[in-house]
Amino acid sequence: MANANQSINKFFASTIFAGSFQSIENIPEFDTQIECCFIGRSNVGKSSIINSITKNNKLAKTSKTPGRTQSINYFNIKKKINVVDLPGYGYAKISKVLQNQLSELIQSFIKSRINLKHVFVLIDAKVGIKSSDIDMFDLINYSEKQFSIVLTKIDKCPKLFIEKQQNSLLSLMKNYPNYFSKIFFSSSKTNQGIIDVQKSIYRISQEL
Ligand X SMILES: Nc1nc2c(ncn2[C@@H]2O[C@H](COP(=O)(O)OP(=O)(O)OP(=O)(O)O)[C@@H](O)[C@H]2O)c(=O)[nH]1
Chain residues in the site for Mg ion (CB under 5 A): 46-47, 68-69
Burial class for 41, CB neighbours closer than 10 Å (0-12, 13-18, 19+): buried
64 binds ligand X, rule: CB under 6 A: yes
Residue 54 site contact among Mg ion, ligand X, none (CB < 5 to 8 Å, cut-off depends on kind): none
| Shortest distance, position 153 Cβ to Mg ion, whole Å | 14
200 binds, among Mg ion, ligand X, none (CB under 5 to 8 A by kind): none
157 binds ligand X (CB under 6 A): no
- Report the nearest approach of ligand X to the CB of residue 154 (Å): 7
Give the count of residues interacting with ligand X (CB under 6 A): 24
CB 31 within 8 A of CB 113: no
- The identity of residue 8, as a single letter, is I
Which residues ranging from 88 to 107 are in contact with ligand X (CB under 6 A)? 88
Sign of the Cα pseudo-torsion (188, 47, 120, 73, in order)? negative
d(CA 55, CA 14): 10
* Sites for ligand X among residues 3-62 (CB under 6 A): 40, 42-48, 62
The packing angle between helices 131-142 and 96-112, to 10°, is: 30
SS3 41: strand
Find the helix packing angle between 194-206 and 46-54, rounded to 10°.
80
Cβ atoms of 95 and 35 closer than 8 Å: no
Q: Which is nearer to Mg ion, 69 or 187 (CB)?
A: 69
- Partner that binds at residue 55, options ligand X, Mg ion, none, CB closer than 5 to 8 Å by kind: none
* Residue with smaller CB distance to Mg ion, 88 or 193: 88
Instruction: Compute the least distance from the CB of residue 203 to ligand X, in Å.
Output: 22
Q: How far apart are CA 97 and CA 75, in angstroms?
A: 28
* Binding residues vs ligand X (CB under 6 A): 40, 42-48, 62-64, 66-69, 87-88, 152-153, 155-156, 187-189
